[in-house]
Structure 1
Amino acid sequence: MANTVSLVLPARHSPAVGPAHIYLALSPSVFMLLIFFALPMGMMIGLSFTDPVSGLPSLASYQRFLTDGLSLPGILRTVSMSLCVAVCVTVLGYPVAYYLARARGRTRALVFALALAPELAGVVLRTYGWLIILEDRGFINDALLHLGLIASPLPLSKNMFAVVVGLTHVVLPFGILSLMTSIQGIDPNLERAAQVLGASRASVMRHVVLPLSLPGIISSLLIAFTMAASAYATPALLGGAGFKVIATMIAEQVLFYVNWPFAAVMANVLFLMMLGVSYLGIRFEARRRIRLSGRGGVTS
């Protein structure tokens, strides 16, 4: 009978991480959020319930928001503008993101640099660039007039179209990055397998890539919507005085009318609107994941 020798090593115990360690690690971040986010938000909410003249508690600013005939249309205009920007950013950014997720080599680096190049210039500088291009005597109208294609300048500026174009240019890099991250998580072998089984390239994109990249699409829509809804410089410059969105109306109340309570009301409504849209997007993605998990599907 063979002799066996067993070597028993002492168990190595990892240091226990208790609640105290977790709270200690989170305390700096929580402190920063409390000081620079929760406290200002609380002050703004409290300010919205005060009377602009007497400073006493009052619902007058909320009543004015609902009845003045300008604030509610401003909310609808903000929502429609942000939705247009979100759709444009996602549709335009998806092909670029797919190329960046699948390509290799120097060309990919060049395209990636060009996609992020707009972020190297300030928002105001980019907005003035579009103003020069889109105004009545801008590059596009001058070129069309010179070629004889139009008899009078096209209304390309001081309207929704100009603001959507400018904001799409501003937000597009963020949408591309969000979509690229999601597409990179999709196994390229799934696309090859579908093509081997006879699927066309369009069918592969429609039935394989698009469903699996849905989290990135939702993320791109949410990022573009929230950034567009809170933008000020681009709507103010490209939209002109007649194009009122919530951000420009807030600035107007603070700078010209010095009505801080009413500005706080509009800021609260804008914040709640963005929270609601983000919640709906997150809930939609969570339910999709639960549904796929219940069917044994693949989630990205």
Structure 2
Amino acid sequence: MTTLTLDLPAVRNRGGGRSHAYAILSPSIAVLIFFFALPMGLMVGVSFADVASGTATLAHYQRFFTDGLSLAGVYRTALMSLLVALSVTALGYPVAYFLARSSGPARTLVFALALAPELAGVVLRTYGWLIILEDRGFINDALISLGLIGEPLHLSKNLFAVVVGLTHVVLPFGILSMMTSIQGIDPNLERAGQMLGASRLAVIRHIVMPLSVPGIVSSLLISFTMAASAYATPALLGGAGFKVLATMISEQVLFHINWPFAAVMANALLLMMLAVSYAGIRFETRRRAILAGREGGLS
């Protein structure tokens, strides 16, 4: 028997692939540096500035942590964003599952309805909810005319109205993120569960939802960050008494002309969103590591 031996030259890696990757990423990196990192660095510097003397000071941070109003704004922002994130994920998951598993005209119609809010501006949608939720709005007028209530319910100018309005604004983004995750799950797993006697709800609870955790986490993070940085909806639906960091920053810039203190609030808002994003990423990383360990143990 004759044996053939192929003597192929060794492939030399001279770093061309890495330099090619850097060349491709360089435009994006430049955009991030000039339009994100540099402005954020300038804002951090402004937060330490003393306008009167032109020197650095910690007085603005001391005021932020001691005046009580700023910390209340942080708490109100975090609570509002958390409620919006939970509402978007809970309401959007059934729609995302339907879009991921259906086809035909029904899917097209539901998909169009899910994205329809994005066709109108945020201010227009917020004014629509203001008309619906105000004291003499559609809901209160309907309930009074039916004799169910004797006086209008306070549905606007509070946390409830802001959460409702922001949920409407952010819901399409949560649906899309969860739909993409569910589409990556093999439908045969659901069929196998049903063939073994599990109901549709049991299959969704024990098979689909655990496998779609990345989409759920993504929906929570997107909803939280978008709600925390929203300005128009809290300003219009929350009223003058509902202060979140975004509206407080606007007041410091436009009315009090206090840029350093506004920069302190902006830094606090940025740190809040970074902390939540980091926690979500760490959770997903640990979950994947645990699943990989289980698969390795079974093999």
Q: Name the TM-score class by shorter chain.
A: over 0.9
Q: Is the alpha carbon distance of 1:94 and 1:63 closer, same or farther for their aligned partners in structure 2, counting shifts above 3 Å?
A: same
Aligned-residue offset at 1:55 = 2.8
| Aligned residues between the structures | 296
Q: Which amino acid aligns with 2:250?
A: A
Aligned-residue offset at 1:60 = 0.6
Q: Is the alpha carbon distance of 1:8 and 1:284 closer, same or farther for their aligned partners in structure 2, counting shifts above 3 Å?
A: closer
Aligned-residue offset at 1:16 = 7.0
Q: State the alpha-carbon separation in 1 of the partners of residues 6 and 247 from structure 2.
A: 75
Q: Which amino acid aligns with 2:217?
A: I
Is 1:123 equivalent to 2:122 in the alignment? yes
Q: State the alpha-carbon separation in 2 of the partners of residues 35 and 273 from structure 1.
A: 23
State the TM-score, normalizing by the size of structure 1: 0.93
Report Cα offsets for 1:180-222 as digits up to 9, x if no partner: 0000000000000011011111211111011001110000000
Counterpart contact for 1:116–1:173, Cα < 8 Å: yes
Aligned to 1:59: 58
Q: Which amino acid aligns with 1:109?
A: T
Residues 121-200 of structure 1: pairs in structure 2 closer than 5 A: 121-200=120-199
Report Cα offsets for 1:100-124 as digits up to 9, x if no partner: 0000101101100000000000000
Q: State the alpha-carbon separation in 2 of the partners of residues 105 and 202 from structure 1.
A: 23
Contiguous gaps of at least 5 residues in structure 1: none
Residues 1-300 of structure 1: pairs in structure 2 closer than 5 A: 17-296=16-295
Q: Percent of aligned positions with the same letter in both sequences?
A: 74
Q: State the alpha-carbon separation in 2 of the partners of residues 14 and 33 from structure 1.
A: 30
Aligned-residue offset at 1:288 = 0.3
Q: State the alpha-carbon separation in 2 of the partners of residues 29 and 16 from structure 1.
A: 21
Q: Which amino acid aligns with 1:128?
A: Y
**Runs of at least 4 residues off by over 4 Å:** 5-16
Aligned-residue offset at 1:14 = 11
Cα RMSD after superposing both structures: 2.2
Contiguous gaps of at least 5 residues in structure 2: none
Q: Which amino acid aligns with 1:294?
A: G
Aligned-residue offset at 1:54 = 2.7
Q: Is the alpha carbon distance of 1:9 and 1:294 closer, same or farther for their aligned partners in structure 2, counting shifts above 3 Å?
A: closer
Q: Which amino acid aligns with 1:38?
A: A
Q: State the alpha-carbon separation in 1 of the partners of residues 67 and 8 from structure 2.
A: 78
Counterpart contact for 1:52–1:260, Cα < 8 Å: no
Q: Which amino acid aligns with 2:190?
A: E
Q: Which amino acid aligns with 2:231?
A: Y
Q: State the alpha-carbon separation in 2 of the partners of residues 253 and 6 from structure 1.
A: 77
Q: State the alpha-carbon separation in 1 of the partners of residues 197 and 258 from structure 2.
A: 65
Q: Which amino acid aligns with 1:99?
A: F
Q: State the alpha-carbon separation in 2 of the partners of residues 7 and 215 from structure 1.
A: 46
Q: State the alpha-carbon separation in 2 of the partners of residues 85 and 151 from structure 1.
A: 30
